[in-house]
A = this chain, B = another copy of it.
């Protein structure tokens, strides 16, 4: 890559960070309908940013939900196209009282940028825009055509994107897809993510008596919706964390011995993880390491539970209603619809007496494995190594990017997951942040990739 391009990035660093901070100030929480206008505002911000970068096309494209931002630049001499995917929406911020600074008032502290979306995924999306901008401003051209697809529903499971990608298959046609929404292994330890877990999710609603009851007048003679929910949820996992839903593990593709050996080379993760999480002991299925628990094993987690009185003190009530939110992380060999159905059947079969149970399905996404023999993967690891001075490893990630499976099926092109976040950056949690070291090195890595890729 030309040193002028890098120099452009260095010269404009403060201005770019100011722009990113402006982007992060927009509370584009896709899950909350109150923030619908903010989500749109963030989309419009991305359009302007792409225009400012020199793209010839940059526009909002409507969906049944939040809009997609599409941008492109092409040159008749270029024969290949890189598609960049990112998302401009962010997770909710509660419990907001646990943030050290307000989630939408970004602050840089100790070379870390704190804000909801700093790392997941506004910061990482922004780096691609700036890399392209630098090449266009300095060289007036790009070695490949580029297309940007930046969506606003990733954090709610991309409900509109499947249809959007299918409908605009020709518009999106490219040779390779780049996504920066995955973490590297740690400080100075780059990695290319070659696998993601899938997702299925559902809400469980338990109803007992037709209204809340006085626990003195009725207690002992009627089912309590919370007890019923607790009893029901307790049947989902055994005491060691193994999921008890019949058929849940059927078809799971176990990692190969070679893969497991590779993960072992990454070193022991348990002590680091305990310290990071502030727990005295980890907890997981027997026979697997913590890394394997999060990368190659499926999970079932209750993400939220609520019912009855939640205020100060106590209220002697038998609640009519109790609710739980459940998500599963799925691994290759598991299908979200099948797993949802198995869970629904389990809940039905284990419903305690005296209550009715209803379920509602939410987000889902299939698991993913990358074609690591494609040449772009070698270019990617080499680019990381050149910038970071450390070889990049092939890893997996326990998170889900549901749309990856859609791209895989609809576009049938290699998907390169080149992330720059650190695992400790509190994605989805209070005090999300992004290390500026990886912001800087990440843009340099992307520029090296563009410069050295041969398709």
Pick from B306, B353, B427: contact of A310, CB below 8 A.
B306
Best-buried of A222, A226, A291, A325 by chain B (most CB within 10 Å): A222
Nearest CB on B from A227, distance (A):
6
Q: Which of A157, A301, A352 has the most CB of B within 10 A?
A: A301
Interface residues on A, range: 35 or more
Q: Do B397 and A312 touch (CB < 8 A)?
A: no
- Verify A293–B226 contact, CB threshold 8 A: no
**Contact yes or no, B279 A303, CB < 8 A:** no
Q: Closest Cβ of chain B: how far from A112's Cβ, in Å?
A: 15
CB atoms of A329 and B219 under 8 A apart = yes
Interfacial residues of chain A within 400-445, with CB under 8 A of chain B in the complex = 400, 423, 426-431
Contact present for A308 and B325 (CB under 8 Å): yes
Q: Which of B209, B303, B399, B431 contacts A309 (CB under 8 A)?
A: B303
- Most chain-B Cβ atoms within 10 A of its Cβ — which of A98, A285, A311? A311
Chain B residues, CB < 8 A from A281: 353-354
Query: Across the two chains, which residue of chain B brings its CB closest to A120?
Result: B214
> Is A208 interfacial (CB 8 A cutoff)?
yes
> Would A216 and B352 count as touching, CB distance under 8 A?
no
Interface segment among A11-19, A228-236, A372-380: the answer is: A228-236
Whether the pair B316, A282 counts as a contact (CB closer than 8 A) is no
Integer count of this chain's copies in the complex: 2
Does A277 reach chain B (CB closer than 8 Å)?
Answer: yes
Chain B: minimal CB distance from A255 (Å): 13
Instruction: Take A226-B305, A306-B306 as given contacts and tell me if A353 and B283 are in contact as well, using a CB distance cutoff of 8 Å.
Output: yes
A230 to chain B, nearest CB (A): 4
> Which of chain B's residues have a CB closer than 8 A to the CB of A313?
31, 156, 362-363
- Tell which of A33, A312, A400 has the most Cβ of chain B within 10 Å: A312
Note all chain B residues with C-beta closer than 8 A to A290. 221
Whether A315 contacts B304 by the Cβ 8 Å rule is: yes
Binary interface encoding of chain A residues 90-115 relative to chain B, with 1 for a CB under 8 A from any of its CBs, else 0: 01101100100000000000000000
Interface residue A190 (Cβ < 8 Å from any Cβ of B):
no
**Residue in B212, B325, B400 whose CB lies within 8 Å of A95:** B212
Residues in A lying within 8 Å of B, measured CB to CB: 31-33, 91-92, 94-95, 98, 156-157, 183, 197, 199, 201, 203, 208-224, 226-227, 229-231, 233-234, 237, 239, 241, 273, 277-285, 290-291, 293-294, 297-299, 301-319, 321-325, 327, 329, 352-355, 362-363, 397-400, 423, 426-431
